[in-house]
Amino acid sequence: MNTPRAGLAVAGSGRLLANIMHFARVLRAAGIPLGPGTVIDGVNAVCAVGVGDRDDFYWALHAVFVNRARHRELFDQAFHVFWRNPRLLERMMSMVLPSFDHPGAVSEQALRRRIGEALQGGADAGDGEPPATEIELDAALSWSGREVLQEKDFEQMSSDEIARARAAVARMHLLLARVPTRRYRRHRQGTRVDMRASLRAALRSGPGTIPLERRRRGRRPPPLVVLCDISGSMGRYSRMLLHFAHTLAADRGRVTSFVFATRLTNVTRYLREKDVDAALERISEAVSDWSGGTRIGSCLDEFNRLWSRRVLGQGAVTLLITDGLDRDAGEGLGDQVERLHKSCRRLIWLNPLLRYADFEPRSAGVRAILPHVDDFRSVHNLSSLEELADVLSHVGPRHEEGVSQWLASR
């Protein structure tokens, strides 16, 4: 093929070639999958339309780099930031300043944090100067290896570490222990005869025999229900755990997610959004009680009344993510947790407060929840999340063993 080379030669005359390449890298980092072939196509497209008109230039790259509806917005924003629209660049600078505690502020921005960070990465490769504020920020961050990141508390992570932790979370898999279904599948050591398969085999084999084919019960992971506390005391953990919930929902079917603080919101549909930033943005739009106080009892009551029959029906495993700090001082909480426990296959309580070695179940909320959960685990860093994945991958003990073990280890 001669055309690409010819295109490269023309474009290579200026800095345009390098810039298109960096732009493609920014897009790739922001989540649009682009291979080197596409980059060459992009250069050729730009050569074909010429660089005289900004609009032509935009649509030429658009035609090559975007092939999914949901990538259009991402491309648009990245384009304007990268190719120097000063007003937007300004907004981006304000945006890149970390503000994790104010999700509302983030959601107002049309820009995604990801583009900011992707651009940062691309920028020091040669194109343009990164804003001064970012350098300060970077100076504050020190490179921490994977192990350090594993053990570091989410609360103490810098924005860069948070980003890397999120990437790690996005790669996680949660293999729930598979439970037998009532559906049969062919299996050589099965306990039942698969008549249909046997008769087919009889036609293949010689006369006089009908070789028996067997089948046994199939297995599949049970549904998963995530109940995540997003009150102020959960702070950064709840955002990280929503990332975790997003990964779970993308990884497998039958995941239902709720967030609660003072009232309960079903966020399953939002988490189905492929792009995790867009998903979280839509959640913060939909949820009005973010970072407020918690009323665990009344939220669980609402869940039990309105949702439990709809989502716990098929033996679901439930993750209850909360620190147990309840504004109503645990009033009525015990009954609700008991009901929840009785309606699901397994109730696992994830509590970030458990990271403190001297954590004692003192608060009324914690004492109300503890007697009714099957397992009680900490989620404050990456390795605890990975452990969780590990624990869920085999059939765990019911309440007696699960929590009494933890209590005994105190």
Report, in Å, the least distance between residue 213 CB and another protein. 12
Report, in Å, the least distance between residue 252 CB and another protein. 12
Instruction: At 361, give phi and psi (nearest 5°).
Output: -75, 75
- Which residues, in sequence order, are bridge partners of residue 266? 258
- Which residues, in sequence order, are bridge partners of residue 258? 227, 266
Report, in Å, the least distance between residue 312 CB and another protein. 8
Q: Quick one: which H or E segment has residue 37?
A: helix 36-49
Tokens of 73: 């917005």
Closer by beta carbon to another protein, 52 or else 207: 207
Cα 288 versus chain centre, distance: 21
Closer by beta carbon to another protein, 236 or else 254: 254
Closer by beta carbon to another protein, 79 or else 270: 270
DSSP 143-167: ---HHHHHHS-GGG--HHHHHHHHH
- Residue window 134-173: x/- pattern of binding to another protein, with contact defined by CB under 8 A: ----------------------------------------
Burial class (CB in 10 A: 0-12, 13-18, 19+), 229: buried
- Residue window 254-293: x/- pattern of binding to another protein, with contact defined by CB under 8 A: ----------------------------------------
Pick the closest to residue 369 from 354, 390, 386 (CA basis): 354
Report, in Å, the least distance between residue 43 CB and another protein. 42
Only one of the segments 96-104, 107-115, 306-314, 353-361 lies at the binding site for another protein (rule: CB under 8 A); that segment is: 306-314
For the sheet containing 255-260, what is the strand order? 264-266, 255-260, 224-229, 317-321, 346-350, 375-377
Counting other chains too, the contacts that 69-77 makes at CB distance below 8 Å and 24 or more residues apart are 70/274, 70/275, 70/278, 71/31, 71/32, 74/27, 74/30, 74/31, 74/32, 74/112, 74/115, 74/275, 75/27, 75/32, 77/110, 77/111, 77/112, 77/115
- Residue window 313-332: x/- pattern of binding to another protein, with contact defined by CB under 8 A: xx------------------
- Residue window 339-358: x/- pattern of binding to another protein, with contact defined by CB under 8 A: x-------------------
**Taking a C-beta distance cutoff of 8 angstroms, is the pair 312, 344 a contact?**
yes
Only one of the segments 52-60, 78-86, 108-116, 301-309 lies at the binding site for another protein (rule: CB under 8 A); that segment is: 301-309
Cα 225 versus chain centre, distance: 15
Pair type for strands 214-220 and 224-229: unpaired
Report, in Å, the least distance between residue 191 CB and another protein. 15
Tokens of 53: 């008109």
Closer by beta carbon to another protein, 54 or else 192: 192
- Residue window 210-239: x/- pattern of binding to another protein, with contact defined by CB under 8 A: x------------x----------------
Closer by beta carbon to another protein, 302 or else 387: 302
Report, in Å, the least distance between residue 180 CB and another protein. 10
Q: Quick one: which H or E segment has residue 265?
A: strand 264-266
Q: Quick one: which H or E segment has residue 23?
A: helix 16-30
- Which residues, in sequence order, are bridge partners of residue 300? none
Report, in Å, the least distance between residue 214 CB and another protein. 15
Report, in Å, the least distance between residue 226 CB and another protein. 16
Report, in Å, the least distance between residue 182 CB and another protein. 3
Total of residues contacting another protein (CB under 8 A) = 25
Report, in Å, the least distance between residue 208 CB and another protein. 7
DSSP 382-409: HHHHHHHHHHHTSPPP-HHHHHHHHHHT
Chain positions 174 to 213 lying near another protein, rule: CB under 8 A, are 181-184, 195-196, 199, 202-204, 207-208, 210
Report, in Å, the least distance between residue 203 CB and another protein. 5
Closer by beta carbon to another protein, 227 or else 403: 227
Only one of the segments 158-166, 241-249, 310-318, 352-360 lies at the binding site for another protein (rule: CB under 8 A); that segment is: 310-318
Which residues would be at the binding site for another protein (CB under 8 A)?
181-184, 195-196, 199, 202-204, 207-208, 210, 223, 253, 301, 304-305, 309-311, 313-314, 335, 339
